[in-house]
Amino acid sequence: MAPLSRLNHRMIALIQRVREASVRVDGERVGAIEAGLLAMIGVARGDDTASAERLLQRVLDYRVFPDQAGRMNLSLRDVHGGLLLVPQFTLAADTAHGNRAGFSTAATPAQAAELFEHLLRRARSLHAPVASGRFGAHMQVALINDGPVTFWLEARGQRTTTD
Which of 16, 65, 89, 105 does the annotation list as catalytic? Answer: 89
Which of 90, 158, 160, 161 does the annotation list as catalytic? Answer: 90
Which strand (E) or helix (H) includes residue 14? strand 10-25
Q: Is 65 a catalytic residue?
A: no
Q: CB of 37 within 8 A of CB of 15?
A: yes
The Cα-based distances of 121 to 12, 85, 93, 104, 128 in angstroms read: 17, 11, 25, 27, 11
Q: Is 90 a catalytic residue?
A: yes
Q: Is 88 a catalytic residue?
A: yes
* Distance, first Cα to last Cα, the chain: 6
Rounded Cα distance, 51 and 12, in Å: 9
Which of 16, 65, 88, 116 does the annotation list as catalytic? Answer: 88
Rounded Cα distance, 53 and 125, in Å: 12
- Supply the residues annotated as catalytic: 88-90
